[in-house]
Structure 1
Amino acid sequence: MKEKDTNDLTQELMSQASLTSYIKENSPYFSDLSIAELLNALYEHKSLSKAALARKAGMSEVYLHQVFSGRRNPSRDRLICLCVGLSASLEETQRLLKQAGYAQLYTKNKRDAIISYGILHQNELAEINDNLFAQNEKTLF
């Protein structure tokens, strides 16, 4: 089966007469992974403990375990903190934000540009927050 990208799916959606047909034909392409599943998959490739991740992400271990077990859904800022703690790439961060139903980082937004810069340059969370504070923007926590 040929992989369809978002543009392909959008074109089909626009030209499809029946929503039911569209969903039936394209169901294999819908992403149904939870945030917890995506975070766990990303975490598996990292060599750090959950305690270290909690420290790097600026959150308690209890909260972190609740997110990873799927019992809590992190806010957009908390999800970004987790991505920073996991040293996720900007692409991985954008995918997680999108899957969670949050706005992706938008570089025309000053705050998002500062956060994106920090992610691209693998800055620690404290440094990203310092840059946000210095630019009179809301910090991540």
Structure 2
Amino acid sequence: MRERSTDDLGQELMGAPNIDAYIHNNEAFFSEQNITESLAELYERKAVSKAALARKSGMSEVYLHQVFSGRRNPSRDRLLCLCIGLEATLEETQCLLKQSAYAQLYPKSKRDAIITYGILHHMELHAINDKLFAENEKTLF
């Protein structure tokens, strides 16, 4: 079966006579949004313990364990904290945000620009939060 672009699916959805027909016809194209597996794959590629990841991400080990076991879904900000703690690339971060159905980092947003800069320059979470606070932007935690 040939892959369909997001634009093609959007066009079909706008012209669909009903949602049931659209879902039935396009079931194979819906993304499997399993953030747990993607985070686990990223974690396996990085050289960090879960205790260190929790510390670098500004969260408890209990919460981190719940995320990795699939019992909790992190919010956008928590996911960004995890990406920073894992020293994920900007591309890896954008992929995880998209997969989780969260807005990707947007350079026209001052807050997102600060976070993006921090990711690109491997800044620690506390340094990113300090800059967000200094710019009167909502911190990540």
Please name the residue that 2:125 is paired with.
Answer: 125
Please name the residue that 1:105 is paired with.
Answer: 105
Q: For residues 62-111 of structure 1, give each alpha carbon's deviation from its aligned partner in whole angstroms, at most 9, with x where no partner exists.
A: 11101111112222211110011112222332332333343332222211
Give the whole-Å Cα distance in 2 for the aligned partners of 1:53 and 1:16: 45
Do residues 68 (structure 1) and 68 (structure 2) align?
Answer: yes
Give the whole-Å Cα distance in 1 for the aligned partners of 2:2 and 2:123: 38
Please name the residue that 2:14 is paired with.
Answer: 14
Please name the residue that 1:47 is paired with.
Answer: 47
Please name the residue that 2:79 is paired with.
Answer: 79
Aligned length: 141
Q: % of aligned pairs identical? A: 69
Which residue identity lines up with residue 113 of structure 2 in the other structure?
A: A
Gaps of at least 5 residues in structure 1 are none
Moved more, 7-16 or 98-107: 98-107
Q: For residues 20-52 of structure 1, give each alpha carbon's deviation from its aligned partner in whole angstroms, at most 9, with x where no partner exists.
A: 232222212211232222211222222222112
Give the whole-Å Cα distance in 2 for the aligned partners of 1:121 and 1:22: 43
Which residue identity lines up with residue 93 of structure 1 in the other structure?
A: T
Please name the residue that 1:5 is paired with.
Answer: 5
Give the whole-Å Cα distance in 1 for the aligned partners of 2:31 and 2:5: 12
Give the whole-Å Cα distance in 2 for the aligned partners of 1:51 and 1:111: 28
TM-score, structure 1 normalization: 0.85
How large is the RMSD of aligned CA atoms in angstroms?
Answer: 2.0
TM-score, structure 2 normalization: 0.85
Give the whole-Å Cα distance in 2 for the aligned partners of 1:97 and 1:75: 10
Give the whole-Å Cα distance in 2 for the aligned partners of 1:84 and 1:124: 7
Alignment of 1:21-36 (within 5 A): 21-36=21-36
Moved more, 59-68 or 40-49: 40-49
Do residues 140 (structure 1) and 140 (structure 2) align?
Answer: yes
